[in-house]
């Protein structure tokens, strides 16, 4: 364990009793948001408070995402605009964290073209933050820590975004090398947290009144592969399900190639595990799946779907889809539309393929135009709207258990939340319901949500 106690007290001494403010912004996936919560936890220890206004901040940390190019462009745009802020206040410290930092060409670009950036913090080096900050406070020009520390398993102190929904990473990294994906390069190989660390973290969260625990990993189904048979993901689900309390367990993401019969048994046998599975299909074409190195066919994928639907025809499925993988033909694309119609997802997360330097797919020829990719995306979204509208009707007249998470932005006097199926539910109510489970009888289905009344 990298011990920060001495460094932290040195920082506090330098700050001299003043409470500086930090602005921390996370981009991308929930794992990155969870890293952002850890960064904030460390900052709180050092005496920082937090602000949502970058103009008020003494320290700005952008916790970045590298999965698609537009996420990177956004960050460069923001860092560019911070040059002015820095000129006005030379004491301002600016740091870049997250997945972008792990790509050497990006790290170089930051160092060369963005002198307003004071430090770069790698995804496996969050505990190196106090050291970097201390260097900056002592006047260092530019510092970086992208080391891989082996202290990832212990329960880190966090400043959590929500008081009733908590993310708990169970593993880091990925071994799958899907050909389009940068994650294995920026997050390294799979490392599973110790089961006892995860269990005690979840126990603590439940004790603190958390109602939803989201277990996170790039591929949770391979949890424990590096623990020598000590615990698998289905076993972990069962163990967490046995914790006393009224809470839900969700998890993300599951690679279809590892979605085993044991996993499906555990989902159906654990009463706290939500009735929803996010199972990224990426494409419905076997040719594209092969070139993506996904290691399953559409038929194998549908076998998992059919087994789930055999046990519960209404079970909720969502997915990720990439449109416009290099040289995707019209036929390939139609196979994706076909699998969407066959599965009838409750929701999809779709992305236009983004070329990532260093990945295998980046070397593949691609004759499909951007216009064509955009047109395919629109066709796909149109189809999903029809499917969702039709499919959500199955809930009309039925009861759903809902965890209310906010007041409705669309309708005054209404709140919204997510059902166990991960479907947005709107109901009449006020902010006192936020963070509570309520039972709702569904009266109406829309294409993005259902609506109902409390029972």
Judged by the rule CB under 6 A, the positions of this chain that interact with ligand 5AD are: 67-68, 180-181, 280, 282, 320, 322, 351, 353-354, 356
Q: Say if CB 130 and CB 143 are below 8 A apart.
A: no
Closest CA to 425 of 321, 346, 343: 346
Stretch of residues binding ligand SF4 (CB under 6 A), selected from 180-188, 261-269, 397-405, 436-444: 180-188
Residues between 190 and 219 that touch ligand SF4 (CB under 6 A): 218-219
Total residues interacting with ligand SF4, rule: CB under 6 A: 10
Q: Does the protein bind ligand SF4 through residue 256 (CB under 6 A)?
A: no
> CB-wise, 173 or 452, nearer to ligand SF4?
173
d(CA 275, CA 252): 13
Instruction: Answer positive or negative: Cα dihedral of 105, 111, 114, 120.
Output: positive
Q: Does the protein bind ligand SF4 through residue 183 (CB under 6 A)?
A: yes
> CB-wise, 178 or 263, nearer to ligand SF4?
178
Q: Say if CB 337 and CB 386 are below 8 A apart.
A: no
Nearest distance, CB of residue 76 and ligand 5AD, angstroms: 17
Region for 296 from its dihedrals, namely left if φ exceeds 0, alpha if ψ lies in -120 to 50, beta otherwise = beta
Nearest distance, CB of residue 345 and ligand 5AD, angstroms: 13
Instruction: Answer positive or negative: Cα dihedral of 430, 433, 435, 438.
Output: negative
Q: Does the protein bind ligand SF4 through residue 99 (CB under 6 A)?
A: no
Q: Does the protein bind ligand SF4 through residue 255 (CB under 6 A)?
A: yes
Nearest distance, CB of residue 223 and ligand SF4, angstroms: 13
Nearest distance, CB of residue 328 and ligand 5AD, angstroms: 12
Q: Say if CB 30 and CB 251 are below 8 A apart.
A: no
d(CA 271, CA 248): 9
Residue 322 site contact among ligand SF4, ligand 5AD, none (CB < 5 to 8 Å, cut-off depends on kind): ligand 5AD
Count of beta carbons in the 10 Å neighbourhood of residue 82: 18
Stretch of residues binding ligand SF4 (CB under 6 A), selected from 175-183, 242-250, 348-356, 411-419: 175-183
Residue 211 site contact among ligand 5AD, ligand SF4, none (CB < 5 to 8 Å, cut-off depends on kind): none
Q: Does the protein bind ligand SF4 through residue 177 (CB under 6 A)?
A: yes
Buried b (16+ CB within 10 A) or exposed e, 17-42: eeebbbbbebbbbebbbbbbbbbbeb
> CB-wise, 280 or 429, nearer to ligand SF4?
280
> CB-wise, 324 or 452, nearer to ligand 5AD?
324
Which tokens sit at 340? 């969407």
Q: Say if CB 278 and CB 263 are below 8 A apart.
A: no
Interface ranges with ligand SF4 (CB under 6 A): 174, 176-178, 181, 183-184, 218-219, 255
């Amino acid at each position: 364990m990298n011990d920060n106690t001495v460094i932290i007290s040195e920082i506090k001494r330098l700050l001299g009793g003043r409470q500086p403010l930090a602005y921390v912004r996370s981009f991308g996936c929930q794992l990155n948001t969870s890293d952002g919560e850890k960064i904030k936890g460390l900052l709180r220890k050092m005496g920082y408070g937090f602000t949502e206004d970058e103009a008020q901040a003494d320290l700005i940390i952008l916790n970045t995402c590298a999965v698609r190019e537009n996420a990177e462009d956004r960050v460069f745009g923001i860092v560019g605009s911070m040059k002015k802020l820095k000129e006005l206040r030379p004491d301002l410290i600016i740091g870049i964290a997250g997945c972008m930092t792990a790509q050497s060409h990006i790290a170089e670009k930051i160092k060369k073209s963005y002198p307003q950036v004071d430090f770069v913090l790698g995804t496996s080096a969050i505990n190196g933050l106090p050291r970097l900050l201390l260097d900056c406070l002592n006047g260092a020009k530019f510092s970086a820590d992208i080391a891989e520390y082996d202290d990832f398993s212990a329960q880190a102190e966090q400043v959590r975004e929500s008081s009733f929904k908590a993310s708990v990473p169970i593993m880091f990294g990925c071994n799958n090398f899907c050909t389009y994906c940068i994650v294995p390069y920026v997050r390294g190989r799979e490392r599973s947290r110790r089961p006892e660390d995860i269990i005690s973290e979840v126990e603590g969260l439940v004790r603190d009144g958390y109602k939803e625990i989201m277990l996170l990993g790039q591929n949770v189904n391979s949890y424990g592969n590096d623990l020598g048979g000590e615990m698998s993901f289905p076993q972990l689900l069962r163990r967490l399900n046995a914790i006393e309390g009224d809470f839900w367990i969700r998890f993300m993401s599951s690679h279809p190639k590892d979605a085993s019969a044991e996993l499906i048994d555990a989902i159906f046998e654990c009463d706290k595990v939500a009735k929803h599975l996010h199972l990224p299909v990426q494409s419905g074409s076997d040719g594209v799946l092969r070139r993506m190195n996904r290691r399953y066919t559409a038929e194998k994928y549908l076998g998992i779907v059919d087994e789930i639907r055999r046990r519960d025809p209404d079970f909720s499925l969502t997915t990720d889809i990439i449109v416009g993988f290099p040289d995707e033909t019209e036929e390939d694309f139609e196979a994706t539309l076909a699998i969407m119609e066959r599965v009838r997802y409750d929701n999809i997360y779709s992305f236009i393929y983004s070329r990532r330097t260093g990945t295998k797919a980046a070397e593949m020829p691609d004759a499909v135009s951007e216009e064509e990719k955009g047109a395919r995306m629109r066709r796909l979204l149109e189809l999903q709207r029809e499917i969702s509208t039709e499919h959500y009707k199955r809930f009309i007249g039925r009861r759903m258990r809902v965890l209310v998470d906010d007041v409705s932005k669309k309708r005054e006097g209404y709140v919204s939340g997510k059902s166990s199926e991960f479907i947005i539910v709107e109901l009449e109510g006020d902010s006192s319901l936020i963070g509570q489970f309520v039972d709702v009888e569904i009266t109406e289905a829309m294409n993005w949500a259902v609506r109902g009344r409390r029972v």
